[in-house]
Amino acid sequence: MRGSYANLLFPVKLTFELSYRIPPPLEGKVIRGSHVLAPFGNKVVTGLVTKVFDTPPDFQGLIKDITDIAGTGRVSEKEIAFIEWMAQYYMCTPGEVLKAAVGNSIDVTPPKRSNRKKETSKLVNETKNCIKTGRLTREQTYVLDCCRKNIKANIPTLIKGVTGSGKTEIYMELAKEQLSQGKSVLYMVPEIALSKQLTDRLTEHFGRHLLVFHSKMTPAARKKVRESIRNHQEPSIILGLRSSLFLPFDELGLIVVDEEHDNSYKQSDPAPRYNGRDAALMLARIHGAGIVLGSATPSLESIYNCHSGRFSLVELNHKYHSAGTTTTEVIDTIREGQKGSMEGLFSRRTLDAIGQRLQKNEQVLVFRNRRSYSPLVQCMYCGDIPYCNNCNVSLNYHKKRSILKCHYCEYAIRYNTICTKCGRPGLKERGCGTEMIEEQLRMFFPGSKVARFDAETTSSKVNEEKLLSDFAAGNTDILVGTQMISKGFDFGRLTLIVLVQADSMFSSDDFRASEKAMQLLVQLAGRSGRRDTRGHIIVQTARPDNQVYIDFLEGEDGMARELQERKEFGYPPFVRLVRISVKHPSKERVEGFCDIIARKLPEWGVIDFTGPVPPPVERVKREYILNFWVKLKRNTDSPTIKSTIFAGIESLVREAGRGVSVGFDPDPL
Ligand code: ADP
Ligand code: ZN
Alpha-carbon gap, residue 156 to 514, rounded angstroms: 26
275 Cα–ligand 2 center, Å: 26
From residue 413, how far is each of 175, 399, 406, 541 by CA, in Å? 51, 12, 9, 32
Question: In terms of Cα–Cα distance, which of 431, 429, 435 is closest to 366?
Answer: 435
Taking all residues of the chain, what is their mean pLDDT, rounded to a whole number? 90
Q: Are strands 623-633 and 608-613 parallel, antiparallel or unpaired?
A: antiparallel
Window from 30-44, 475-489, 512-526, 643-657 with minimum mean pLDDT: 475-489
pLDDT of residue 460 exceeding 90, the answer is no
Over residues 521-543, the pLDDT tens digits come to 998 888 876 566 788 999 999 99
Residue percentage of the chain with pLDDT more than 70: 94
Alpha-carbon gap, residue 380 to 280, rounded angstroms: 52
pLDDT tier for residue 501 given thresholds of 50, 70 and 90: very high
Q: Are strands 290-295 and 312-316 parallel, antiparallel or unpaired?
A: unpaired
Q: Is 369 in the pocket of ligand 1 (CB under 6 A)?
A: no
pLDDT of residue 519 exceeding 80, the answer is yes
Closest ligand to C-alpha of residue 412 is 2
What pLDDT does residue 121 have? 46
199 Cα–ligand 1 center, Å: 15
pLDDT of residue 582 exceeding 50, the answer is yes
pLDDT tier for residue 130 given thresholds of 50, 70 and 90: very low
What pLDDT does residue 323 have? 64
The stretch 191-195 carries a mean pLDDT of 67
Alpha-carbon gap, residue 284 to 500, rounded angstroms: 41
Closest ligand to C-alpha of residue 137 is 1
pLDDT of residue 117 exceeding 70, the answer is no
What pLDDT does residue 2 have? 61
The residues that bridge with 629 in the sheet, in sequence order, are 579, 610
DSSP letters spanning 511-560 = TTHHHHHHHHHHHHHHHSS-SSS--EEEEEES-TT-HHHHHHHTT---HH
What pLDDT does residue 652 have? 96
The stretch 6-30 carries a mean pLDDT of 92
Contact (Cβ atoms closer than 8 angstroms) between residue 52 and residue 66: no
Q: Is 90 in the pocket of ligand 1 (CB under 6 A)?
A: no
pLDDT tier for residue 116 given thresholds of 50, 70 and 90: very low
The stretch 462-476 carries a mean pLDDT of 89
What pLDDT does residue 231 have? 80
> Between these two residues, 453 and 122, which has the higher pLDDT value?
453
Q: Is 164 in the pocket of ligand 1 (CB under 6 A)?
A: yes
pLDDT of residue 293 exceeding 80, the answer is yes
Q: Is 244 in the pocket of ligand 1 (CB under 6 A)?
A: no
Q: Is 167 in the pocket of ligand 1 (CB under 6 A)?
A: yes
Closest ligand to C-alpha of residue 527 is 1
The stretch 603-608 carries a mean pLDDT of 93
What pLDDT does residue 134 have? 58
Q: Are strands 157-161 and 312-316 parallel, antiparallel or unpaired?
A: parallel
Question: Under DSSP, is residue 84 helix (H, G, I), strand (E, B) or coil?
Answer: helix
Over residues 356-400, the pLDDT tens digits come to 999 999 999 999 999 999 999 999 999 999 999 999 999 999 999
pLDDT of residue 297 exceeding 90, the answer is yes
pLDDT tier for residue 464 given thresholds of 50, 70 and 90: confident
Alpha-carbon gap, residue 166 to 143, rounded angstroms: 10
The stretch 591-608 carries a mean pLDDT of 96
pLDDT tier for residue 118 given thresholds of 50, 70 and 90: very low
Alpha-carbon gap, residue 88 to 108, rounded angstroms: 25
The stretch 585-610 carries a mean pLDDT of 96
Contact (Cβ atoms closer than 8 angstroms) between residue 88 and residue 60: no
- Residue 604 has a CB neighbour count (10 Å cut-off) of 17
Q: Is 222 in the pocket of ligand 1 (CB under 6 A)?
A: no
The stretch 305-317 carries a mean pLDDT of 95
Cis status, amide bond into 39, omega within 30 of 0: no
pTM above 0.75?
Answer: yes
The stretch 470-483 carries a mean pLDDT of 92
Mutation pick for ligand 1 pocket among 141, 165, 169 (CB with most ligand atoms within 8 Å): 169
169 Cα–ligand 1 center, Å: 6
Question: Under DSSP, is residue 430 helix (H, G, I), strand (E, B) or coil?
Answer: strand
What pLDDT does residue 383 have? 95
pLDDT tier for residue 653 given thresholds of 50, 70 and 90: very high
